[in-house]
Amino acid sequence: MKKVLVDGHYGTVNLNLNKMLEKRDDLEVIYLENRRQVSPEQRVSLLNTADIVILCQSAQTVVETIPLIQNPEVKVIDTSNAYRLAPGWVYGMPELGPDQRRKIQSARFVSLPAPMAVGTVMLINPLLKGKIMPPFLPLYVNSVVGYSSGGANMISLYESPDRPRSYGSVRQYGLDQNILQQKEIMHTSGISYRPSLNPMIDDYPNGILVTLPLHLRTLSKRLHSRQVWETVCRFYEREPLIEVVDFEGAVDEVGGFLDAGGMAGSNKMQLFVFGDNDICLMAARFDNLGKGGAGAVVQNMNLMLGLDEMRGVL
């Protein structure tokens, strides 16, 4: 039986990771939510005797923790942004390409992607790999996410009866356009220019919607939106967690409105392609606590431990 240590309780991943892991009878799971639970020596021992350590900590604490893991047999998943683009760390997105699962399986260190970057890369990757979208195309990406994305502190603020009135409407952030996910998207996808990201947080618990509008005349190949959809379908046809919604009737299927919380509670992702022969609108909808959080952690953990990738995920 594999031994899993969940070290810390910081961030959004911890909000439902315990719930996902408690159902597993093939794992011995140890939750170390507070350092005061054990002595420093006991913590170091736990860190070095687990098969895998899942770090639910702030970036600063992760940097302090990694040197404590001296056993080369212990694998690590970092849920913060401390090592997301660092050499020696594998990006935890199995659907990124044909070799990504192999890299995750053989990795000692895996970093969890940010939800907004996950949605963006999932949308553009099929077009980049198919040489339909040039890597130098300027991108403008919009996203809306629920308040659980800000962790326990943000949840407390939004659910407080004394919260500011402004919390009742959508709020845009990243206004200075200095956003870590820009580098993450460039590094992971290989695009040449920093994308313009327009992230927003809204008054609902969880779920994220990432949308990307494209003028089809700017692509390397002039396609109809339906052909873009066909490209996306082919790219993800063997991915059990990715559902590419049918192009025909997609607008009617969602009633003309694509709600950002529509995949809350799921570990899957929906991809949409709307549009005509001129303008295409691509969209990724998933749960920031599922495929964008704990669901992705469990998927990567399964691969790293040599278990069925979908166990406890589907």
**Which one-letter amino acid corresponds to residue 236?**
Y
Do 166 and 222 meet the contact criterion of CB atoms below 8 Å apart?
no
Taken in order of first residue, the domains within the chain and their CATH numbers are 2-113+292-304 (3.40.50.720), 115-290 (3.30.360.10)
Q: What's the pLDDT tens digit per position in 237-267?
A: 999 999 999 999 999 999 999 999 999 999 9
Structure tokens belonging to residue 10: 């910081």
Give the span between the Cα atoms of 140 and 147, in whole angstroms.
Answer: 22
- Give the pLDDT confidence score for residue 168 in this predicted structure: 96
End-to-end CA distance of the chain: 21
Structure tokens belonging to residue 314: 């589907």
pLDDT in tens, the chain (314 residues): 999 999 999 888 988 999 999 989 999 999 998 777 899 999 999 999 999 999 999 999 999 999 999 999 999 999 999 999 999 999 999 999 989 999 999 999 999 999 999 999 999 999 999 999 999 999 999 999 999 999 989 999 999 999 999 999 999 999 999 999 999 999 999 999 999 999 999 999 999 999 999 999 999 998 999 999 999 999 999 999 999 999 999 999 999 999 999 999 999 999 999 999 999 999 999 999 999 999 999 999 999 999 999 999 99
Do 3 and 49 meet the contact criterion of CB atoms below 8 Å apart?
yes
Structure tokens belonging to residue 153: 């502190």
In our burial notation (b when 16+ CB lie closer than 10 A, e otherwise), range 257-284 reads: ebebbebbebbbbbbbbbbeeeebbbbb
Q: What is the CB neighbour count within 10 angstroms for residue 129?
A: 16
Residue (of 293, 295, 303, 292) closest to 119 by Cα position: 292
pTM over 0.75: yes
